[in-house]
Structure formats: structure tokens, C-alpha cells
Chains A and B, each alone.
Chain A
Amino acid sequence: DAGVTQSPTHLIKTRGQQVTLRCSPISGHKSVSWYQQVLGQGPQFIFQYYEKEERGRGNFPDRFSARQFPNYSSELNVNALLLGDSALYLCASSLGASSTDTQYFGPGTRLTVL
């Protein structure tokens, strides 16, 4: 069975541009979460989506937005990119939104902002 997949693998953008990152959860999983991992730090929670609705949001500015589609895949959008947005963006899927559901992470998208 395929795990969590993310695209693209790497991305280079310039300041002020907009970017869209994509995530496909494990088949049967209905919840997707997004995390940002800056070099040398642990991942930081950005969003959780369950059944196409936003269930939680971390401490990130409104430049970050996301959505979940009927097939449970998800997109993360970042507008007006800053140098500090350079990071590994990780997507995680779980069966549901319960605290007992293990989150399975994808390989990430490496975003570089120049």
C-alpha cells in the first residue's frame, strides 16, 4: 500500500511569490495535517483538516491557508513568501481526528525561498 505522498519534492521560489504544496493521504485516511520544519528544529503544527473541514490551526499567519478535497487529498498554500518560509513542509494523515489515531508522515516538500 502506498504511504502518504507529497508533491513536489523540491521547490525554489522568490520572495513575494505564492506556492501550492500537495498531499495525498493513505487510502482510507480522512484526516490530513500540515507541519513546517525549519532546519535544526522540530516540526511545527500548521493545520489539521478532517472531512474537508479545518479542525485546528497552529500559530501561523493568514498567509498560510489550506483545503481538503472530497478524495481527502489536501493543498497547502502560502502567499507573499518570506525568506523565513524556507523549510521542509510535512504532511501527515490519520484515519480520523481522534487522539488515538497514529499520524503517518510523508517525505515532505523542501521549499527554498530566495
Chain B
Amino acid sequence: KQEVTQIPAALSVPEGENLVLNCSFTDSAIYNLQWFRQDPGKGLTSLLLIQSSQREQTSGRLNASLDKSSGRSTLYIAASQPGDSATYLCAVMGSGGGADGLTFGKGTHLIIQP
């Protein structure tokens, strides 16, 4: 059974810092890995999708990497802003594809101090 772990569970940093969020998964037989952002009480916003054949994806100040063999992904946020405050969720799609759904971690709760 696939398990996804996110470290740290919570993080508070001053505005302007670069930071790294970590995600690990137990079964390397994945199709893709996705990073989401969730604001309090809201739905999920997709940030980056990395297919299993890719090593990284970039969007603006965000960069996500994937090392499938070691079961790890990182989300790098450059020049953090107070608007980046949210919970960041990592999710993998396993070998069963969409029929197995996404397996999520518990998230990293990020606070950017002005």
C-alpha cells in the first residue's frame, strides 16, 4: 500500500527566504506526482505535475523535483511571500492510474511572516 509522508508538518519563515518542502513515498511504481496548495477551508489548487519520466517542473517561483528511484520529491519556493502561506500537499498516482486515485500526504502547513 502506497504511503506518502511530508516533512516538515509545519514551517514558519520570514518573508523573502527560499525554502524546501519534502515529500517521500514508499512505492516507486508511480505514474506521476503532483503538488497542490490548499488555503484554509478551501479546495485544492494544482501547482505542478511531474510525470514519472520527468525529473523536475518549474512554474514561476516554484520548482519541483522527482527522484522516483529513491521515492522522493521536493518543492522549492524562491523568495517567499506572505501570500504563499497555505498548506502544501504532495500526491502520487500509482500504477493503477486514475482508478486508484491519488494518494496524498498530510501536508506541510506553511506560514510566511511579513
Contact = CB atoms under 8 A, between A and B. Distances in A.
Interface string B39-73: 00111111001010000000000000000000000
B76 interface: no
A101 B98 contact: yes
Most buried by A among B43, B46, B96, B102: B43
Interface in A47-61: 48, 50, 55-56, 58
A48 B32 contact: no
A102 to B, nearest CB: 5
B101 A48 contact: yes
Given A33-B101, A55-B98, A56-B100, A100 B4 contact: no
Interface of B is mostly: strand
Most buried by A among B91, B99, B101, B107: B101
B44 to A, nearest CB: 4
Given A41-B106, A42-B104, A42-B105, A55 B99 contact: yes
Nearest to B105: A42
Interface of A: 4, 31, 33, 35, 40-46, 48, 50, 55-56, 58, 88, 90, 92, 94, 97-108, 110
A97 B99 contact: yes
B51 A100 contact: yes
* The 10 residue pairs across chains A and B that have the minimum distance between CB atoms: A45-B101, A42-B104, A56-B99, A99-B31, A105-B44, A99-B97, A107-B43, A97-B98, A55-B99, A105-B43
B111 interface: no
